[in-house]
């Protein structure tokens, strides 16, 4: 396992260097991973929070590689992944690539990308080819990127190391999340470089585990529902009785996402009285 020390560049391969942001926490784990891709014309993927010391660390890492930051590539625009893009662009003139923030998500940073990317777009240099994969679910403007030369997936918050990600409606959508996982299962991916935590080997095993985990949780939601309407607050401790109660406020968001999916599947209904099984 490579070191996860804030500000210290770690070479993951000849093409990829990781720099950890100094923002450890409840939702970010050891912090947000920023990645420098390439050594000459460099793409910085997920520059992280707007912390001057972290931006300086990214600039120093690029200088040590002997290159110049040309692009800033975003997996999504949440506050722990994207705001430093503006500082980095100011200092380097780099172009911000990704998808701009969506309405209805208070966790989005206030920035607009310079170039909107869509599924299948590629950023290609003599050193690397980065393929864009639209993976809504965690949030609707989420993108993953596959480094073609290494079958390495930069997963942002779609898949992380050591935990499952939170799906927060309305910007997060459980149906989209499962469909995006299924999409990734058909990609040539050997490893995952996540937004939080260390590199994940055996990528396809994690993808299949995550699909299974989400569907098992969905089945548990149904099994815990009685014939009477139930609120989210009533359901959380029943559905997540295997999770530390301190995490229940966060689990509540994903439970809501599961229930919305089940409602769309005509398996549950929602009313002013609460959620209940469909007739």
Residue 261's pLDDT is 97
**Sign, CA torsion 237/239/242/248:** negative
Q: State the pLDDT at residue 227.
A: 81
**203-224 vs 232-239: helix axis angle to the nearest 10?**
120
Confidence label for 2 from pLDDT (cuts 50, 70 and 90)? low
> Helices (DSSP H) in the chain: which residue ranges?
52-65, 84-92, 174-184, 203-224, 232-239, 248-264
Closest residue by Cα to residue 55 from 6, 125, 120? 6
- Asked if pLDDT for residue 83 goes beyond 60, the answer is yes
63: which residues sit within 8 A by CB, 6+ positions away? none
Q: pLDDT by residue (tens digit) across 250-262? A: 999 999 999 999 9
* Average pLDDT of the residues in 171-193: 96
Mean pLDDT over the full length of the chain: 93
pTM beyond 0.85, yes or no: yes
Q: What is the pLDDT of residues 226-251, one digit of tens each?
A: 889 999 999 999 999 999 999 999 99
Domain boundaries of the chain, sorted by first residue: 10-213, 225-277
Q: Residues 256, 232: contact at Cβ < 8 Å?
A: yes
The reported pLDDT for the residue numbered 136 is 95
The answer to whether the beta carbons of residues 89 and 113 sit under 8 Å apart is no
- In contact, 31 and 54? CB cutoff 8 Å: no
pLDDT > 90? residue 103? no
- Residues 126-168 have pLDDT tens digits of 999 999 999 999 999 999 999 999 999 999 999 988 788 999 8
How far is 47 from 43, CA to CA, in rounded Å?
10
Q: Tokens 């010391």 map to which residue?
A: 53
Give mean pLDDT, residues 73-82: 93
Quick one: pLDDT at residue 92? 97
For domain 10-213, give its CATH number from 1.10.443.10, 3.30.530.20, 3.60.15.10, 3.40.50.12780: 3.60.15.10
pLDDT-based confidence at residue 107 (cuts at 50, 70, 90): low
pLDDT of residue 47: 97
What is the pLDDT at residue 111? 86
Burial of 17 from C-beta contacts in 10 A (0-12 / 13-18 / 19+) = buried
Q: Which residue, 36, 108, 104, is CA-closest to 69?
A: 36
The fraction of the chain above a pLDDT of 70, given in percent, is 97
Q: Which one, of 95, 52, 102, 44, lies nearest residue 76 by Cα?
A: 102
């Amino acid at each position: 396992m490579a070191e996860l020390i804030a500000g210290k560049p770690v070479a993951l391969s000849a093409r990829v260097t990781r720099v950890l942001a100094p923002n450890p926490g409840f939702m970010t784990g050891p912090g947000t991973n920023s990645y420098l891709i390439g050594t000459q014309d460099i793409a910085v993927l997920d520059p992280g929070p707007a912390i001057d010391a972290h931006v300086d660390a990214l600039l120093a890492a690029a200088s040590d590689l002997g290159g110049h930051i040309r692009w800033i590539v975003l997996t999504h625009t949440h506050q722990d992944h994207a705001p430093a893009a503006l500082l980095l662009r100011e200092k380097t003139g780099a172009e911000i690539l990704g998808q701009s923030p969506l309405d209805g998500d208070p966790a989005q940073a206030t920035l607009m990308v310079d170039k909107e990317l869509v599924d299948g777009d590629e950023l290609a240099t003599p050193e690397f080819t980065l393929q864009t994969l639209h993976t809504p679910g965690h949030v609707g403007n989420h993108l993953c990127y596959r480094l073609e030369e290494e079958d390495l997936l930069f997963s942002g918050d779609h898949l992380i190391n050591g935990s499952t990600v939170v799906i927060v409606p309305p910007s997060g959508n459980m149906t989209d999340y499962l469909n995006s996982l299924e999409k990734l299962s058909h990609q040539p991916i050997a490893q995952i470089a996540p937004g939080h935590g260390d590199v994940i080997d055996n990528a396809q095993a994690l993808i299949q585990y995550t699909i299974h985990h989400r569907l098992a949780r969905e089945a548990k939601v149904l099994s815990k529902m009685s014939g009477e309407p139930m609120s989210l607050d009533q359901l959380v401790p029943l559905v997540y009785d295997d999770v530390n109660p301190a995490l229940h406020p966060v689990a509540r968001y994903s439970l809501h996402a599961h229930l919305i999916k089940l409602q769309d599947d005509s398996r549950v209904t929602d009313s002013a009285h609460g959620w209940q099984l469909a007739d």
